Copies of this chain bind each other. A is one copy, B any other.
């Protein structure tokens, strides 16, 4: 194993342990010693990658980003939808993503700036909405920043509701319902008619990304996922 690959794996092992401990104990109560014991790495390795508990939390918050974007779609609204449903699929299947989202909503996490993920997701949304607008896919009154914030905020709540009610089992249909309620106020009807908003879309996009980026398979194995279907081109 190359040195760099080993470092990536060590970092990932530490973050996985941090994610689990933060989820079990909450940010405030969790300690670096617990994370160290669970990660089975040396103290030196842990502090090399993450000098403090706050750095560990930042790392878990960042792990919400897959690191590879949804492939370019001709229809930018579909690309935005795919970004949303991919995140929902990862939330349902990847404990690290769950831990990151929970940390963003952990109001007892004193001293941790939880605005980061909200602002980053808003920026992603604004960029895609601006492109959609430039292509004439959006209704003329749409303000990208406002719509992006509505989508990011709503998504955060819909996932929290799905978690509280059934531990994420109904997340894909809930996200599909959210999009079907919001997008008609945003997207030109003729464009919306060709956008795939079905609840199975997230798993399909993830399978498409795994085929494009084989390295995802190693770091993000997904035992709970049903056999993936290829995504129709958007």
* A186–B153 CA distance with the chains assembled, in angstroms: 20
A150 at the binding interface (Cβ < 8 Å): yes
* A177–B180 CA distance with the chains assembled, in angstroms: 16
Residues of A in contact, count (CB < 8 Å): 42
Please name all residues of chain B whose beta carbon is closer than 8 Å to the beta carbon of A181 when the two chains form the complex. 147, 150, 181-182, 185-186
A107 at the binding interface (Cβ < 8 Å): yes
| Chain A binding surface SS class | helix
Which residue from chain B places its CB closest to the CB of A157 in the assembled complex? Answer: B157
Min Cβ gap A182→B in Å is: 5
Interface residues of A in 76-104 (CB under 8 A from B): 102, 104
Please state the number of chain copies in the assembly. Answer: 2
* A38–B81 CA distance with the chains assembled, in angstroms: 48
A174 at the binding interface (Cβ < 8 Å): yes
* A100–B110 CA distance with the chains assembled, in angstroms: 19
Task: List the 5 closest pairs (A to B, CB-CB), nearest first.
Answer: A157-B157, A156-B157, A154-B154, A26-B108, A153-B158
A residues near B (Cβ < 8 Å) are 23, 25-26, 28-29, 102, 104-108, 114-115, 118-119, 146-147, 149-150, 152-165, 174, 177-178, 180-182, 184-186
